[in-house]
Amino acid sequence: MIIRLAVRSLAVRPIRTAVLSVGFGLGIAVMAALLGVGDVILEQARSPLLEGGGDMLVVGVFGAVENAPFVLSTVRALAPTVSPTRRATIYLMNGSDPIPVLARGGVPSLEKAVGDGEVKNVAAWTDAPSDARWIHGDPSTIMRALDRFHAEPDIPEFASSWAEWLYFNGRTPDGRIRFYLTFMVGPIVRPGLRSAGVHLQLDREGKTTDYVASDVVSDDVLLEKAPDLDIAGNRVRVNHGRYELTLRMHGIAGDLTLEPAAGRSLPPAVLRGARGWLSGYVVPALSGQLTGQLKSDTGDVVMFDGADGYHDHNWGFWRGVRWQWGQVSGGGLSFIYGRVFPPADVAASDRIPGFLGVLDERGIAGVATNVSIAEHRSGDSTSSPTSLDITARAAGLDLRLSFDVDRTVRRSVTLVGGDADFLQLGGIYRVQGRAGGHTIDLRARGAAETFQQRHAE
């Protein structure tokens, strides 16, 4: 029938029918060509050779990859040969108008090692001395980059609440004694100088003793040398990838060393709100071996040899900020979770999700932002939590952490202000579920933090 109609149409209106036939034919031909070109473009876009060779491509979802040396050190656990590259626009000056040129730079020996066809046969493409740090990443250098300090932003509205600190905690092997240690630097108090302090909180089977020291530090020295810090005779040093802590405070002295476990680091993350508000967080050592001792003026000695330690780093504006946080390690895995509640006038807290990460010796084994953190109390709203339930779900991750609290330290923190107290919780976690190919069912001692409405006077 269709053929008969076509023949009759051609006989009655031959010119119009011929033009339409040619038009339809050209349209179909163009569509076929475009589909073919699209397939080629898609295939080439997926080609490793066009990205510098290799079998895996790592890119930043929101732009350039931050802390690239740390990312490369982690990726090397999966693929020993890794080639970093960077694209940028440069300008060729020809005496009048500049000519933009898209350029790509990399490390010659690494590009050749992953089979980059563009440079593998170019004898003149050789490494520069500065390329060595990309080939042989020094653990201390990588740790320093993660743990660097930040210049205070010039935002007068929030300036008085700026603070940055290194935080460590650990416990004796039997879990009876735990310490919380903070090296904190506050806002600029005089030109070129910032307030600084050290706070050691020692928890002996539920009895807490505080030791403090304060001083001022040079802003220039801080930004140049941190995380190496010196505050009132107390110091932090990063040496061969280890943290060496020296404490000399009224009432107590000691030397501690924290050696991070392989793969147990989380890269920096920054929350940003209105008018320049920000809050940053990084975990250089989610778990590690703690050694050393603390000795009080009364002669008591606390040994930490063989214990598990933890270290993170915070910076930002803290007035009106609250958070929930917790961490635990066991069974060859480390778990960390948390959620930040910024002031209502800079960000909507209900739009900032919680976070849970699972790490093993190779790095991050699972991440979820679909996280619920529920606190349970036996009394009214001013009572301390007796237990917590944390649930997290994501692709390849389904976990529940149940935390039974057996120790609570409540204190007022002037840094954040307001009518809530800061709670440090100790207890036992039960972790069940799966993450990153691991089936998990373990019990281990861990820590948590939260805020609670202050008791009425």
- Give yes or no on whether 140-315 and 319-457 have one common fold: no
Which CATH number is correct for 140-315, 3.40.640.10, 2.60.40.1120, 1.10.3720.10, 2.40.370.10?
2.40.370.10
Q: Is the pLDDT of residue 94 over 80?
A: no
* Whether 390 contacts 417, CB under 8 Å: no
Between 92-106, 130-144, 287-301, the lowest mean confidence (pLDDT) is in 130-144
Q: Helical H runs in 46-171?
A: 68-75, 108-113, 132-135, 139-146
pTM: 0.77
Mean pLDDT of 365-375: 95
Distance CA 409, CA 426 (A): 9
Residues in Cβ contact with 123 at an 8 Å cutoff, skipping those fewer than 6 apart: none
Q: Where are the domains of the chain?
A: 2-46, 50-137, 140-315, 319-457
Q: Is the pLDDT of residue 134 over 80?
A: no
Q: How many Cβ atoms sit within 10 Å of the Cβ of residue 224? A: 11
Query: Which CATH code is given to the segment(s) 319-457?
Result: 2.40.160
Q: Is the pLDDT of residue 33 over 90?
A: no
The burial of 303, by beta-carbon neighbours within 10 Å (0-12 exposed, 13-18 middle, 19 or more buried), is given as middle
* Whether 178 contacts 446, CB under 8 Å: no
What interhelical angle do 2-12 and 14-45 show, nearest 10?
Answer: 130
Distance CA 449, CA 274 (A): 26
Residue with the bigger pLDDT between 175 and 152: it is 152
The predicted pLDDT at position 48 comes to 46
Residue 404 pLDDT grade (very low, low, confident, very high; cuts 50, 70, 90): very high
